Homo-oligomer: A and B are copies of this chain.
Amino acid sequence: MTATVGDARPAGPGRTRLHEAALRLFADHGVNGTSLQMIADEMGVTKAAVYHHYRTKEELVVGVVTPFLDRVSEVLEHARTRRGRRAQVETVLEGLVDLVVDARRMYVVTAVDPVIAHLHEHHPRMREVGGEMRELLAGPDAEPGRRVAVAFFLSGVIGPLADPTCGDVDDDALRAMVMDVGRQLLLPRRASRG
């Protein structure tokens, strides 16, 4: 049994330091390639100290991902308050790109890591948030073409974040460029160009 981590504690400073150290390493080596020993070393403590915060590695992973998941939830919630599909898509797009550029490393990890991919399938809240995002972006009963575009976009955003050839692009420029691509893919103009 994999236990639901209804761990709603507010995450003190120690925990936050742990999250940050773990995240750095996850982004570099993947979750499976990162041992608790590595994390402990990164923080300058021992494994046992890490185990004080989480009972298992899996719970640690969930703990690291959760704050990011929360922010995505907020974006979706905000989008739902808007009227009209186009406005909703635009809002998700903006919020997501913002979030993703701001938390580069995190999104790379959450989007790409095999371990987290499994979590996406099995962890109830991740399934839920992922589903809601796709639904908001694609719309109900979307045609294949639309679903492909959405999947393409969600996966595409990580490219510029991870690609070394884009390392020189600063956050603001990146945000603008990715938004541009996102609009092209998900908000095609009806008749003419605007």
Whether B177 contacts A181 by the Cβ 8 Å rule is no
Contact mask for chain A residues 155-186; partner B; CB cutoff 8 A; 1 contact, 0 none:
11111101101101100011001100100110
A124 contacts partner chain B, Cβ-Cβ < 8 Å: no
Q: How would you classify the secondary structure of chain A's contact residues: helix, strand, loop or mixed?
A: helix
Residue of B nearest to A162 (CB): B155
Q: Which of A148, A168, A169, A184 has the most CB of B within 10 A?
A: A148
State whether the Cβ of A80 lies closer than 8 Å to any Cβ in chain B. Answer: no
Instruction: List residues 53-72 of chain A with CB under 8 A from any CB of chain B.
Output: none
Please list the 6 inter-chain residue pairs (A to B) with the smallest Cβ-Cβ separation, ordered nearest first: A155-B159, A156-B156, A30-B114, A151-B163, A32-B32, A151-B159
> Can you list 27 A-B contacts (CB < 8 A)?
A30-B114, A32-B33, A33-B114, A33-B115, A112-B112, A112-B114, A144-B168, A144-B169, A144-B173, A144-B177, A145-B177, A147-B160, A147-B163, A147-B169, A148-B166, A148-B181, A149-B177, A149-B181, A151-B160, A151-B165, A152-B181, A153-B156, A155-B156, A155-B157, A155-B158, A155-B163, A184-B185
